[in-house]
């Protein structure tokens, strides 16, 4: 099999420092101390690919868009070109994909987020070459991504057919201001595999009773630091508490006071106490508890907190299982298994994290 690999090296950098995306914010992300996320996730996918199919003919684009990462994983890639400048752009991604197509690849494996997916899909328009994403962005709404980097390698080496799937993207400036309006950017050919995520869908149903119950518990927990995640369900909890929380960010709350609004990973870690609780809701239609839309909740943060998952019944009705993708495979394994999800003022439902 011939696989073309392209990495967006800055994808996801803005997440842990509270930028909710990197489009047009790379310099600010770096100024806030952001570290690249995509190269590590690309390395995980390529290492697993080397284990599963070392005979794969790998085509790559010059550094920092994948060549060295492919070599580190044990491949001797055919490097077809280089980025045009010091900072990589969407044009570089599209140039790489077009070169892969001309070279007759069987699959384009890309590492990035929804914006990268849209660029790859644009470059593949009119061709029947399939694409598959290694998730490395902040949002990852599209259904062209594998659940994890390792799952992407499995799908790339085992698929026998493809299906049409949605490439979604949102305006990050609107997203930062609390508006979420996913836009269909393309429909792409994607390998058929079990471990592909669904498109982001919004779960319906009322959450008032759920929010009231969670808020009552929080008010009765003196000295406990609550890390309140993003999303409308936890947003209802924030509203019940009477605080002006960040709709799509992470807020810290303790003893009736908002410690930090729209906190970064560093701000969360700096304000945690002896007893800490994360309140988080899974993404509707996908089931991700960690790893999509909340990178501020990093492995370091999660390890210092108890985790409470909340969701409306209607949302859970659309999700067969819950998922995690924290950038730490060991932590992912620790989190897997059955967990209680609060669905009402007192009611819980057992759900499995896989």
Summarised one tens digit per residue, pLDDT across range 74-106 is 999 999 999 999 899 999 999 999 999 999 999
More confident residue, 27 or 189: 189
**For residue 320, what are its two tokens?**
């067969």
pLDDT of 268 reads 97
14-28, 201-215, 246-260, 312-326: range with lowest mean pLDDT: 14-28
When pLDDT is cut at 50, 70 and 90, the band that residue 24 belongs to is: low
**For residue 196, what are its two tokens?**
């592909």
**For residue 352, what are its two tokens?**
């499995």
- The sign of the dihedral angle between the CA atoms of 335, 336, 342, 343 is positive
Q: Which residues pair with 78 in a beta bridge?
A: 59
Interstrand relation of 2-7 and 57-60 (parallel, antiparallel or unpaired): parallel
Q: Which residues pair with 339 in a beta bridge?
A: 351
Cβ(222)–Cβ(255) below 8 Å: yes
pLDDT of 19 reads 54
In tens, the pLDDT along 273-322 reads 999 999 999 988 889 999 998 999 999 999 999 999 999 988 998 899 99
pLDDT of 143 reads 86
41-55, 202-216, 296-310, 332-346: range with lowest mean pLDDT: 202-216
20-24, 86-90, 109-113: range with lowest mean pLDDT: 20-24
Report the distance separating Cα 173 and Cα 238, nearest Å: 23
Closest CA to 87 of 12, 10, 15: 10
pLDDT of 137 reads 83
When pLDDT is cut at 50, 70 and 90, the band that residue 35 belongs to is: confident
Q: What is the mean pLDDT of residues 120-141?
A: 91
pLDDT of 329 reads 94
pLDDT of 194 reads 75
Report the distance separating Cα 154 and Cα 50, nearest Å: 11
Report the distance separating Cα 159 and Cα 153, nearest Å: 10
Report the distance separating Cα 354 and Cα 297, nearest Å: 18
Judged against a pLDDT cut of 60, whether residue 205 lies above it is answered with no
More confident residue, 141 or 98: 98
When pLDDT is cut at 50, 70 and 90, the band that residue 201 belongs to is: very low
pLDDT of 55 reads 97
pLDDT of 202 reads 41
In tens, the pLDDT along 143-183 reads 899 999 999 999 999 999 999 888 987 665 555 455 555 67
Q: What is the mean pLDDT of residues 320-328?
A: 94
Cβ(209)–Cβ(344) below 8 Å: yes
Report the distance separating Cα 311 and Cα 305, nearest Å: 19
DSSP H helical segments within 73-140, as ranges? Answer: 90-102, 114-124
Q: What is the mean pLDDT of the chain?
A: 89
In tens, the pLDDT along 211-248 reads 999 999 999 999 999 999 999 899 999 999 999 999 88
* Residue showing tokens 């902040």: 138
**For residue 80, what are its two tokens?**
């077809």
Q: How far apart are the first and last CA of the chain?
A: 29
Neighbouring CB atoms inside 10 A of 333's CB total: 10
29-38, 43-52, 137-146, 321-330: range with lowest mean pLDDT: 29-38
Domains of the chain: 2-191 (3.40.50.10330), 208-353 (3.40.50)
Q: In the sheet that 107-112 helps form, which strands lie side by side, from edge to edge? A: 78-79, 57-60, 2-7, 107-112, 131-135
Q: What is the mean pLDDT of residues 19-48?
A: 76
């Amino acid at each position: 099999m011939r696989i073309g690999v392209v990495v967006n090296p800055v994808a996801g950098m803005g997440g842990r420092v509270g930028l909710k995306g990197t489009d047009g914010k790379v310099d600010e992300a770096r100024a806030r101390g952001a570290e690249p996320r995509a190269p590590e996730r690309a390395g995980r996918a390529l290492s697993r690919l080397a284990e599963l199919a070392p005979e794969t003919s790998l085509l790559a684009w010059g550094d920092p868009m994948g060549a060295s990462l492919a070599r580190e994983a044990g491949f001797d890639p055919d490097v077809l070109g280089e980025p045009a400048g010091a900072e990589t752009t969407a044009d570089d991604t599209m140039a790489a994909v077009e070169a892969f197509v001309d070279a007759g690849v069987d699959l384009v494996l890309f590492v990035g987020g929804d914006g990268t997916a849209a660029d790859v899909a644009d470059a593949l328009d009119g061709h029947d070459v399939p694409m598959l994403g290694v998730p490395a962005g902040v949002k990852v709404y599209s259904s062209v991504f594998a659940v994890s980097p390792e799952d992407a390698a499995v799908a790339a080496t085992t698929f026998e057919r493809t299906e049409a799937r949605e490439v979604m993207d949102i305006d990050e400036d609107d997203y930062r201001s609390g508006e979420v309006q996913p836009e269909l950017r393309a429909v792409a050919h994607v390998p058929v595999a079990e471990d592909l995520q669904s498109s982001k869908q919004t779960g319906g149903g009322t959450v008032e009773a759920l929010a009231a119950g969670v808020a009552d518990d929080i008010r009765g927990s003196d000295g406990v630091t609550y890390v309140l995640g993003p999303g409308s369900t936890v947003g209802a909890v924030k509203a019940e508490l009477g605080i002006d929380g960040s709709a799509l960010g992470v807020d810290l709350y303790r003893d009736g006071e908002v410690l930090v609004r729209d906190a970064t990973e560093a701000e969360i870690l700096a304000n945690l106490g002896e007893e800490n609780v994360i309140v988080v809701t899974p993404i509707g239609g996908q089931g991700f508890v960690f790893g999509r839309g909340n990178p501020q909740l990093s492995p370091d943060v999660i390890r210092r907190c108890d985790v409470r998952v909340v969701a409306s019944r209607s949302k859970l009705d659309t999700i067969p299982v819950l998922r995690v993708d924290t950038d730490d495979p060991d932590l992912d394994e620790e989190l897997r298994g059955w967990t209680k999800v609060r669905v009402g003022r007192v009611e819980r439902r057992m759900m499995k994290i896989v």
